[in-house]
Amino acid sequence: MSSGPDGYASGMVWENAPRNRPPDSLLLKIAGIAPVEGSWGFSAKVDEGPASMIGNRHRFISQTAIDCDGVGSDEGYIVVSRTPIRRPVDDGDRSAAFLEAHSYEESWWNWIGRMFGGSSWAYPGKRIERPEE
């Protein structure tokens, strides 16, 4: 059993923007999250970010791809790599482009807030790094 919010050790979408962002990443505010059928990814509409992305739906997938990595909040901030990657969908029958999302652990502030009835996905903590980083 993981120790994070809602049974997850980490999450990708937070109500407040993560502070620990890689220099080559994008910070986006997203809403309208929906699963991408046949994949581990999800899509969402971009509300804030580069002008060319605002108002459009984009696909996202976890950069770390660990079992205990949750999507997070229904809407909020997500940190993504700038270059899309291709991942298989529909059991490998085809592939689609996704933006890799960085995951964050729950912060102490978030944990304390949850103990008093606050949101599970308000304050992100430390960024989860890939094993090769």
Summarize pLDDT for 95-128 with one digit per residue, the tens.
899 999 999 999 999 999 989 999 889 999 999 8
SS3 (DSSP) at 29: strand
Does residue 30 lie in a domain region?
yes
Tell me what the pLDDT averaged over the chain comes to: 88
| pLDDT the model gives residue 48 | 98
Residue 92 pLDDT exceeds 80? no
| pLDDT the model gives residue 108 | 92
Does residue 67 lie in a domain region?
yes
Does residue 48 lie in a domain region?
yes
Does residue 41 lie in a domain region?
yes
| pLDDT the model gives residue 90 | 78
Interval 70-90 mean pLDDT? 92
Does residue 57 lie in a domain region?
yes
How many domains are contained in the chain? Answer: 1
Side-chain half-sphere exposure of 41, counting CA atoms within 13 A: 25
Does residue 133 lie in a domain region?
no
What is the value of pTM for the model shown?
Answer: 0.88
Does residue 28 lie in a domain region?
yes
Does residue 107 lie in a domain region?
yes
| pLDDT the model gives residue 3 | 42
Cβ atoms within 10 Å, residue 88: 13
Cβ atoms within 10 Å, residue 24: 8
Type of residue numbered 12: M
75 lies in which domain range?
Answer: 5-127
